[in-house]
Structure 1
Amino acid sequence: MRTLSKRLLATGFAVVAALAPTPAAAAGPAHVAACNGYVGLTFDDGPSNANTPALLTALRQNGLRATMFNEGQFAASAPAQVRAEISAGMWIGNHSYTHPHLTQLPQARMDSEVGRTQQAIAAAGGGTPRLFRPPFGETNATLRTVLARYGLTQIIWDVDSQDWNGASVDAIVAANARLTNGQIILMHEWPANTRAAIPRIAATLASRNLCAGMISPQTGRAVAPA
């Protein structure tokens, strides 16, 4: 009986030990802060075989999604990168075909720039864009008429990172830190400082419980991903 009692006691302890949570299990999965708002991270002037892979890697490693405003000429020459953007969970917008000053062009040329880019992105596997970023942020009523024909929503920006103007990593991070719920920031995929800033951008947004969202074609503001 004494031997049997010892065996039963040992079995009982084993069951209790098996059922008791370890410290890690008791803590549960890492806490993910709730999103108190969404911001739109945007990157212009891609895609390219030289820059897009590194940018996508940085974004994915830091849990960020963004809208990539692609030029048609580059989507046509680097279609694999368009598909890579989609695979990485990014959204793709239209940034014209050759990045001209559209407001200086006749309507037919505007139409060509917009329409050819829609076709190039779709042909590369990026779907049909619903968002348009005018080069240099220049727009007018004629361009808006063209965009309406293609069902495109014009997206400018609330904050300019100035990465195109040689902004430092610190300055790019600080620009992102100014974003508030629904706002959109202008960045580009080619500056090395922009890619280097990605981890700190992610940390800065997380510290404020802001998440990287999609840009709504209805409102033109950043919202929760669909």
Structure 2
Amino acid sequence: MNAGQVALTFDDGPHQHSTPALLAALTAQRATATFFLCGERVRQHPEQVRALRSAGMQLGNHSYTHPYLTRLEQDAAVDEIARTQEAIRTAAGQSPVLFRPPYGDTDAQLCGTAEQFGLTEVLWTVDTADWAGASAAQIVEAAAAVRPGGVILMHDYGYQSTIEAVPLILRMLADRGLRPGRITPTAGNGHQVTER
């Protein structure tokens, strides 16, 4: 693992307004990020998925309708993952290899189901709480707790504070000698953050 890398991740997109704004903020700094996408939103905004892919962002599976997957019957959980794989493959031309369960709600059975699709489950080490109404300053402060190799959780769901925080987070990381990297699956359903 490259000790100077961290992963910026965004859940719940694509979103017609925040996805382009987040992408602009990231590409302005030549930064990479991982977007964990919901299948039904991929179907609504395939052009946003293509833009993310074209800009070199990583795409991950975040279920189709964003349910608590461990509360579903097994067949329904499989369907949530499968439909999202297909939606992303159709929009972006390739299937994701990363999976983040909504709410971080997981168990061994769900992890095994994801593995059947060739997916590596990725949670996070730092939750910015942007979903709870945090201000841009609060998001940056939370993100500052990240350690090398860590994974920062944010959301692509129209939150203006998240959009405003991204350039500040990138500056804060650079000041600490850290750079956004890619999440790379490793043996045993693990992952590491590597240089893009």
* 2:195 match: 224
Q: Indicate whether 1:175 and 2:142 are aligned.
A: yes
The whole-number CA distance in structure 1 between the counterparts of 2:185 and 2:95 is 12
Alignment counterpart, residue 90 of structure 1, candidates 42, 48, 57: 57
* 1:144 match: 111
Question: Hey, which bits of structure 1, 4+ residues long, moved more than 2 A?
Answer: none
Alignment counterpart, residue 80 of structure 2, candidates 98, 103, 113: 113
5 Å matches for 1:186-205?
Answer: 186-190=153-157, 191-205=159-173
The whole-number CA distance in structure 2 between the counterparts of 1:209 and 1:193 is 24
* 2:22 match: 55
Q: Indicate whether 1:206 and 2:177 are aligned.
A: no
* 2:5 match: 38
| Aligned-partner residue type, residue 204 of structure 1 | M
| Structure number with higher strand proportion | 2
The whole-number CA distance in structure 1 between the counterparts of 2:28 and 2:130 is 21
Structure 2 length as normaliser, TM-score? Answer: 0.94
C-alpha displacement of 1:221:
2.3
* 2:91 match: 124
SS in 2 for 1:86: helix
The whole-number CA distance in structure 1 between the counterparts of 2:112 and 2:166 is 36
CA contact under 8 A between 2:39 and 2:83: conserved in structure 1? yes
* 1:17 match: none
CA contact under 8 A between 1:36 and 1:209: conserved in structure 2? no
The whole-number CA distance in structure 2 between the counterparts of 1:36 and 1:145 is 29
SS in 1 for 2:191: coil
CA contact under 8 A between 1:82 and 1:126: conserved in structure 2? no
CA contact under 8 A between 2:60 and 2:99: conserved in structure 1? yes
The whole-number CA distance in structure 1 between the counterparts of 2:147 and 2:176 is 9
Higher relative contact order structure (alpha carbons within 8 Å, sequence separation ≥ 6): 2
The whole-number CA distance in structure 1 between the counterparts of 2:110 and 2:79 is 11
Structure 1 length as normaliser, TM-score? Answer: 0.82
| Aligned-partner residue type, residue 108 of structure 1 | D
C-alpha displacement of 1:126:
4.8
C-alpha displacement of 1:36:
5.2
Which sections of structure 2, spanning at least 5 residues, go unmatched?
none
In structure 2, the CA distance between the partners of 1:36 and 1:222, relative to structure 1 (3 Å rule), is closer
Alignment counterpart, residue 78 of structure 1, candidates 45, 64, 77: 45
| Aligned-partner residue type, residue 116 of structure 2 | R
CA contact under 8 A between 2:3 and 2:149: conserved in structure 1? no
The whole-number CA distance in structure 2 between the counterparts of 1:50 and 1:206 is 27
CA contact under 8 A between 1:103 and 1:138: conserved in structure 2? yes
Give the percent of matched residue pairs that are identical in Structure 1 and Structure 2.
47
Deviations 1:100-154 (A, max 9, x none): 0101001100100000000000000251100000000000122112111101110
When the two chains are superposed, the root-mean-square deviation of aligned CA atoms in Å is: 1.2
CA contact under 8 A between 2:7 and 2:180: conserved in structure 1? yes
The whole-number CA distance in structure 2 between the counterparts of 1:82 and 1:54 is 13
Which sections of structure 1, spanning at least 5 residues, go unmatched?
1-34
CA contact under 8 A between 1:72 and 1:95: conserved in structure 2? yes
